[in-house]
Each structure stands twice: as structure tokens, then as C-alpha cells.
Amino acid sequence: MSQFGIFGREVDADTTATHEKLLAKRQPIPPEEMDYPKHIFKALEALREPRRTYIGASSLGYGLKCARQLWYRQRRDYDMEGRVLRLLDHGNSEEDRLIRDMRKAGIQVTGEQLEYKVGKLIGHIDALVVDPVHGLENLEVKTSNKKRYIDLVEAFKGGDKGKHKKALEGWRIHNAQMQLAMGALKLKSTLYVLICKDNDELHFERVPFDKAFFAELVAFVETVSHWQDDTLPARAVELPDQFGVCMWCPAFDECWDNKIDFNW
Ligand code: SF4
């Protein structure tokens, strides 16, 4: 005779009895004996890749917000919490998942990540996509929480004030990455995909190549390549901008000489 056990799977009576005996014997593990999240996060911290020695396309974005922040990031090894490392890796998994789903839908998405160079900058694109109308395009996949997702999608539809303006300012860093890739690989457009982490909604936005912005970025890469250890760039702000430019800056204490305690 059979019955439904855990997970709704059909199991026979003997198996159920064995499960029950095992469950009865089980002793709860005191949390202090095995703190699983702590162990996982520590392992990720230990396995973290060393700081890049080249100028990366994504790190250049920090420099668009504040050149000094990029200067620090290129010269210091800031610790990153395991939780944050896991969060960053989440973006990579979402990228793979989306490419898989695009292929299931019959969309041609080619190859793995491709490397490109702009002066001393090295970047990688997520993939190339073949659009029936626009031909070969760069594919850039990003994830976002629901609030930022809504703000950015509305901003793409033409909002240019308040939160929309702020969303577009933040997006400039993604755009810089895309423009560098398009310029280096001679592509006319990028298919920018935004995935909402809260509900898996997808937004596709076609971003054209912007020659003027690309030229600006090439000039900035050139400047960054010539930075010396003793030429600290100016701060982007005159006063600590806790909720703007300086938010999440790992160099905050050093930059402001440890004189400000925001207690964030
Ligand atoms: S704390 Fe602010 S001003 Fe200083 S480097 Fe960071 S972002 Fe720039």
C-alpha cells in the first residue's frame, strides 16, 4: 500500500516508517555549532579574485561618478563581504538564465563573453544577439530591484525629471559599458535587458551607439592610464555626499581623512 510522503511524492509504507524513525532520532543542531550563512560567506571571501591590474569597463563607471574613487579602487584591496559577493554573482546567474531562455524562444544569441580593448581598458560583453531587423547587436544584461526597475523603465519612456532623471544618471554607468563595447567592436546598437529581481519582469531597450560619448570615454581611459600614485584626482563633491556620489564608496574614510562618522 502506498501513500503520499514529503514533497507529494508517492512512497510506500516501509519508506514512510523509516523516515519517521529517522526524524524521531534527529537532534536539532544548535545554530552556534554550524552557522551555515557565515561559513558560506567566509568561503566566498577567501575565494575572492584579487584586484584587477587592468582598467575594467565596469570599474570605469566609478570614475564617471568620482575620478578619485576610481583612483582609490585601482590602488587598494577593499574587502567585500561574502553576502555582497554572492549578490554580484546573482547577476551572472541571471545573465546565463536569460540567454538560455532567449535561445528557447528561438532568438539567436551567440557565443560566450567576448573580450574587447579600448586603449588600456579591457572589457567583456555578455553576448552577441542577432536581431531580425537590426542585425548583430551587443547584449547587455542587468538586474535591478523593483523600485529601480520601474523608475528606469519610466525614464526610458521619456521621463526626465526627479526620480527618472536620477535613474538615468545611474544608468549612465551601464551606458558607458555599452558604448565602450559598441565602439570597440564596431556595433551600431546594444540590446539592453533589465531583469526585475522581485518578479522576473523583463524590459528590453535598444541603445544606439553614441559616437560623442564614446570619444569622451576614450579620452577618459587615456587620462586614467596616465594617473600616477602621487596624483590623487580631485573629489567629485566639495562635501561628503552621503546619499549620492559617496554612497557605497569604499574609500570614504580615507578620502575624508577619517574625520566624518555618518553612522550609516
Ligand atoms: S568618498 Fe566621495 S568624494 Fe571621496 S572618493 Fe569616494 S565618492 Fe569620491
Residue 6 has pLDDT above 50, yes or no: no
pLDDT score for 213: 96
Angle, CA of 113, 117 and 123, to the nearest 5°: 40
Amino acid letter, 101: D
- β 10-12/114-118 pair status: unpaired
pLDDT score for 58: 84
DSSP-based three-state secondary structure for 79: coil
Query: What is the C-alpha to C-alpha distance for residues 255 and 253, in angstroms, rounded to an integer?
Result: 5
Ligand 1 pocket check for 235: Cβ under 6 Å: yes
Percent of the chain surpassing pLDDT 70? 84
Cα-to-centroid distance, 32 and ligand 1 (Å): 38
- More confident call, 20 vs 180: 180
DSSP state of 233: P
pLDDT score for 13: 66
**What is the arithmetic mean of pLDDT over 172-182?**
95
Mutate to test the pocket of ligand 1, among 59, 62, 64, 66 (most ligand atoms within 8 A of CB): 66
Task: Specify the fold of 55-77+84-255.
Answer: Lambda Exonuclease; Chain A (3.90.320)
Domain locations along the chain: 1-33, 55-77+84-255
**What is the arithmetic mean of pLDDT over 64-75?**
93
**What is the arithmetic mean of pLDDT over 224-250?**
91
Ligand 1 pocket check for 148: Cβ under 6 Å: no
Reported as a pLDDT band with limits 50, 70 and 90, residue 31 is low
Mutate to test the pocket of ligand 1, among 68, 254, 257 (most ligand atoms within 8 A of CB): 68
Give the mean pLDDT of the chain: 87
Give kind and range of the element (H or E) at residue 165.
helix 162-185
pLDDT tens digits, one per residue of 70-127 = 999 999 888 889 998 998 889 889 999 999 999 999 999 986 778 999 999 999 999 9
Cα-to-centroid distance, 176 and ligand 1 (Å): 20
Read off the C-alpha cell for 251: 574609500
pLDDT score for 229: 92
Cα-to-centroid distance, 255 and ligand 1 (Å): 6
Ligand 1 pocket check for 237: Cβ under 6 Å: yes
Yes or no: say if 171 and 152 are a contact pair by the CB < 8 Å rule: yes
**What is the arithmetic mean of pLDDT over 34-54?**
86
- More confident call, 3 vs 206: 206
Residue 170 has pLDDT above 90, yes or no: no
The model carries a pTM of: 0.81
Reported as a pLDDT band with limits 50, 70 and 90, residue 243 is confident
Ligand 1 pocket check for 68: Cβ under 6 Å: yes
pLDDT score for 93: 92
Nearest to 192 by CA among 235, 149, 163, 225: 149
Cα-to-centroid distance, 139 and ligand 1 (Å): 31
Residue with cell 507529494: 8
Mutate to test the pocket of ligand 1, among 255, 256, 257, 258 (most ligand atoms within 8 A of CB): 255
Q: Whose CA is nearest to atom 1 of ligand 1?
A: 252
pLDDT score for 34: 78
Q: Whose CA is nearest to atom 2 of ligand 1?
A: 246
pLDDT score for 9: 47
Percent of the chain surpassing pLDDT 90? 58
pLDDT score for 28: 66
> What is the residue-wise DSSP string for 178-199?
HHHHHHHHT-SEEEEEEEETTT
Ligand 1 atom at minimum distance from 69 CA: 5
Ligand 1 pocket check for 252: Cβ under 6 Å: yes
